[in-house]
């Protein structure tokens, strides 16, 4: 009986190890693909017939909005949903900075959404890619549905709260959309970094909007996964721990603060030391099954750290220091 249990345990551990190695290989391939695309899509960024992507987001500050509008790909827009009553200062700041003007708004019945008060577009041609919606703040899904109603393009990228987009993320998504066009793909997601997915607009409409159960039941054959990060969240204390544990590309090698990197590496070293200590103890006591299981845990942690450190990244920021006190890059 114990032999059967041992065999079962070994089979499980081996399967887990192979899956982990497969993930590492996929991430390395994705990194190599990213280098290839970085050399080729700059020259095609102007393709007039490229797929369009609408980035949907909620409350933004100036820095985040500049990051979202900072993509060179022309067929990309940013749809921001904010509550002007609740975030009055931030809302007015965006309206003034980007010369937003209120435009005529007709109710669209494509995706149900409540509480939309007004729609704003910029009077300045260079900010034509920005759309601002004044909407009563309800739920995140409802805010995204409102944004989707007024999005111009066929692919929707709802962003997690507070996240910034990596430099070439939009271009990589465009290439992925072109690659999978013939396959009737409903959504393209990523499994590295903050969970992000690019949806086809008609899928969202057919499902009844974001947050609907139908959207969560897309068949696997219509989902494609990119093994590379698309967005980046500024390091917060919780994500610092996640970065240290290798669960997130945050606090990776591109983090600007060396103290955060040191903390993350300290957490990694502590986890490794603790696991190794238990492992040595298990080996000394002859607990071979536990030793094998701990090796698998260490392998999982190593793969997670490897993925976070190899694939992770932060947006390249254009460093411009302004004269106003307290306003720095």
Number of Cβ atoms within 10 Å of the Cβ of 247: 15
Q: Angle formed by the axes of helices 258-285 and 288-311, to 10°?
A: 160
Min dist CB 98 to another protein, Å, is: 6
Number of Cβ atoms within 10 Å of the Cβ of 55: 26
Kindly tell me which of 129 and 260 has the beta carbon lying closer to another protein. Answer: 129
Kindly tell me which of 48 and 213 has the beta carbon lying closer to another protein. Answer: 48
Q: Does 67 bind another protein (CB under 8 A)?
A: yes
Min dist CB 57 to another protein, Å, is: 14
Q: Does 24 bind another protein (CB under 8 A)?
A: yes
Structure tokens at 108: 């669209």
State how far the Cα of 51 lies from the Cα of 329, in Å rounded to an integer.
32
Kindly tell me which of 66 and 140 has the beta carbon lying closer to another protein. Answer: 66
Kindly tell me which of 127 and 223 has the beta carbon lying closer to another protein. Answer: 127
Q: Under rule CB under 8 A, how many of the chain's residues touch another protein?
A: 92
Tracing tokens 């694939």 back to the chain, one arrives at 311
Options 1, 96, 125, 325; binder of another protein; rule CB under 8 A: 125
Site string for another protein, 154-193 (x = CB under 8 A): x------------x------xx--xx-xx-----------
Q: Does 141 bind another protein (CB under 8 A)?
A: no
Q: Does 70 bind another protein (CB under 8 A)?
A: yes
State how far the Cα of 59 lies from the Cα of 82, in Å rounded to an integer.
6
Min dist CB 238 to another protein, Å, is: 24
Stretch that binds another protein, among 84-92, 95-103, 186-194, 236-244 (CB under 8 A): 95-103
Q: Is 67 exposed, middle or buried (0-12, 13-18, 19+ CB in 10 A)?
A: buried
Options 1, 89, 96, 107; binder of another protein; rule CB under 8 A: 107
Phi-psi region of 4 (alpha: psi -120 to 50; beta: other; left: phi over 0): alpha
The gap between the terminal CA atoms of the chain, to the nearest Å, is 64
Stretch that binds another protein, among 84-92, 216-224, 234-242, 318-326 (CB under 8 A): 318-326
SS3 239: helix
Kindly tell me which of 245 and 289 has the beta carbon lying closer to another protein. Answer: 289
Q: Does 270 bind another protein (CB under 8 A)?
A: no
The contacts of residue 128 (CB under 8 Å, 6+ apart) are 121, 122
Kindly tell me which of 88 and 126 has the beta carbon lying closer to another protein. Answer: 126
Kindly tell me which of 127 and 241 has the beta carbon lying closer to another protein. Answer: 127
Kindly tell me which of 67 and 239 has the beta carbon lying closer to another protein. Answer: 67
Q: Does 6 bind another protein (CB under 8 A)?
A: yes
Q: Does 136 bind another protein (CB under 8 A)?
A: no
Three-state SS annotation for 198-229: EEEHHHHHHHCCCCCHHHHHCCHHHEEEECCC
State how far the Cα of 44 lies from the Cα of 213, in Å rounded to an integer.
38
Q: What's the maximum distance between 2 C-alpha atoms anywhere in the chain? A: 76
Q: Does 232 bind another protein (CB under 8 A)?
A: no
By CB under 8 A, what part of segment 196-215 binds another protein?
201-202, 205
């Amino acid at each position: 009986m114990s032999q059967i249990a041992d065999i079962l345990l070994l089979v499980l551990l081996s399967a887990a190890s192979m899956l982990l190695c497969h993930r590492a290989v996929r991430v390395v391939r994705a990194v190599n693909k990213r280098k290839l695309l970085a050399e080729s899509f700059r020259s095609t960024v102007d393709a007039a017939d490229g797929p369009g992507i609408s980035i949907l987001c909620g409350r933004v500050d100036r820095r985040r909005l500049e990051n979202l509008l900072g993509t060179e790909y022309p067929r990309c827009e940013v749809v921001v949903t904010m509550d002007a009553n609740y975030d009055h200062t931030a809302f007015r700041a965006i309206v003034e900075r980007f010369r937003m003007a209120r435009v005529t708004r007709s109710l669209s019945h494509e995706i149900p959404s409540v509480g939309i008060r007004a729609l704003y577009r910029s009077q300045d041609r260079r900010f034509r890619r920005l759309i601002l919606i004044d909407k009563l703040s309800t739920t995140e899904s409802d805010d995204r549905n409102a944004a989707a109603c007024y999005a111009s393009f066929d692919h929707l990228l709802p962003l997690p709260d507070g996240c910034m987009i990596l430099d070439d993320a939009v271009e990589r998504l465009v290439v992925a959309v072109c690659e999978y066009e013939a396959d009737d793909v409903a959504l393209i997601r990523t499994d590295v970094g903050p969970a992000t997915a690019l949806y086809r607009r008609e899928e969202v409409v057919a499902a009844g909007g974001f947050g609907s159960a139908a959207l969560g039941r897309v068949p696997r054959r219509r989902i494609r996964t990119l093994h590379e990060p698309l967005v980046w969240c500024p390091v917060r204390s919780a994500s610092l721990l996640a970065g240290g544990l290798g669960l997130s590309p945050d606090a990776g090698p591109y983090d600007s603060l060396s103290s955060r990197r040191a903390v993350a590496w300290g957490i990694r070293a502590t986890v490794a030391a603790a696991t190794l200590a238990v492992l040595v103890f298990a080996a000394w006591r002859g607990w071979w099954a536990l030793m094998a299981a701990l090796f698998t845990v260490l392998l999982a942690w190593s793969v997670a750290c490897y993925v976070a450190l190899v694939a992770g990244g932060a947006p390249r920021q254009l460093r411009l220091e302004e004269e106003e006190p307290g306003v720095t890059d």
